[in-house]
């Protein structure tokens, strides 16, 4: 057995694929999640693999493309004498979009920009501040339609769907938001104001406004986290939710056959298209139905 560390053995194998042309220049390099799945190693080991390949000049991070196989003859990313906060945030978002929020570290972002880690700290004080800036940047330029306050249902639908769409494009962002500890995000605050203004125009007091607002956003965020978990599970197992249900079908049907589980038995006997957009919309409409009933009761 080789004395070389496991991560270097994997890096050697991927490097051989790159040099042999089996991984095309300019094409996507194996992601850390793919390495975890295909090689059966921990995420920390997979991260070391990518670092080793980057150190050899075989891969690089390109804005809009994630980590790719570097083209031969292309110089490694040169050091940049000047940085902006926006440039740092956008580089971090590229990493998060490609490999997930846990892989966004100050060191990783610095490497992708070709600067020292200390260079980042001159602009961003810590990782927590960076992740907040990342989540806020996702909503830069977000526009809500021109809907009068009286049309409260359309307004609340619009802001909920805006968040749902943004979380679909950047799934990791849902992990950053807190329901119990409001965060100051300049691009997000106008969206919260839209929701709260709408609820106030409905005649709700501050208690109802806050409870409704938190529950509506909690639904969006909660469903976004379900979608994120499903995406990770599909990457890790290679099975979609429908594939998994088919795989588990025999065990579920065995449980459902018991007279003690009439609810499960009924559900299993019916066809169900597991579409999270449909489930999200169902929950949103039921919440809005509840707000309509609450308004009538005032």
The pair of structure tokens assigned to 298 is 């005032």
pLDDT at 209: 96
Judged on CB neighbours under 10 Å (0-12, 13-18, 19+), 251 is: exposed
Do 161 and 145 touch, CB atoms closer than 8 A?
Answer: no
pLDDT at 246: 67
Mean pLDDT of the chain: 84
The secondary element (H helix, E strand) that includes residue 282 is helix 276-297
Q: Note the pLDDT tens digit of each residue in 161-213.
A: 999 999 999 999 999 998 888 888 999 999 999 999 999 999 999 999 999 99
Average pLDDT over residues 294-298: 92
Q: Note the pLDDT tens digit of each residue in 82-112.
A: 788 999 999 999 889 888 898 898 988 887 7
Distance CA 173, CA 96 (A): 9
The pair of structure tokens assigned to 19 is 């040099």
Backbone φ and ψ of 105, nearest 5°: -120, 160
The closest of 46, 62, 149 to 102, measured between CA atoms, is: 46
Q: What's this model's pTM, rounded to 2 decimal places?
A: 0.70
The helix/strand/coil state of 168 is: helix
Q: For 98, how many CA atoms within 13 A lie in the half-sphere containing its CB?
A: 27
pLDDT at 258: 64
Average pLDDT over residues 245-259: 65
Between CA 25 and CA 36, with CA 30 as vertex, the angle to 5 degrees is: 165
pLDDT at 263: 64
Q: Note the pLDDT tens digit of each residue in 32-43.
A: 888 888 898 887
Provide Rg for the chain, Cα atoms: 24
């Amino acid at each position: 057995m080789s004395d070389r560390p496991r991560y270097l053995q994997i890096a050697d194998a991927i490097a051989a694929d790159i040099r042999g042309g089996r991984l095309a220049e300019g094409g996507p390099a194996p992601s850390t999640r793919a390495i975890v799945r295909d090689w059966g190693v921990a995420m920390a080991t997979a991260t070391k693999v990518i670092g080793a390949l980057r150190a050899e000049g075989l891969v690089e991070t390109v804005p809009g493309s994630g980590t790719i196989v570097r083209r031969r003859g292309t110089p490694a990313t040169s050091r940049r004498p000047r940085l902006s906060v926006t440039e740092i945030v956008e580089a971090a978002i590229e990493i998060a979009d490609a490999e997930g929020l846990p892989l966004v570290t100050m060191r990783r972002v610095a490497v992708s920009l070709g600067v020292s880690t200390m260079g980042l700290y001159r602009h961003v004080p810590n990782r927590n501040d960076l992740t907040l800036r990342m989540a806020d940047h996702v909503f830069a330029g977000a526009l809500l339609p021109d809907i009068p306050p009286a049309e409260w249902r359309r307004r609340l639908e619009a802001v909920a769907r805006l968040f749902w769409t943004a979380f679909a494009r950047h799934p990791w962002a849902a992990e950053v938001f807190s329901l119990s500890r409001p965060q100051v995000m300049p691009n997000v605050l106008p969206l919260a104001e839209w929701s709260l203004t709408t609820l106030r125009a409905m005649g709700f007091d501050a208690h109802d406004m806050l409870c409704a607002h938190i529950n509506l956003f909690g639904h969006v965020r909660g469903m976004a986290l379900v979608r994120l978990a499903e995406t990770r599970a599909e990457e890790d197992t290679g099975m979609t939710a429908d594939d998994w249900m088919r795989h588990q079908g025999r065990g579920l049907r065995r449980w459902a056959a018991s007279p003690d589980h009439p609810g499960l038995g009924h559900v299993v006997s019916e066809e169900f298209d597991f579409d999270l957009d449909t489930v999200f919309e169902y929950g949103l409409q039921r919440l809005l139905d509840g707000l309509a009933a609450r308004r009538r009761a005032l």
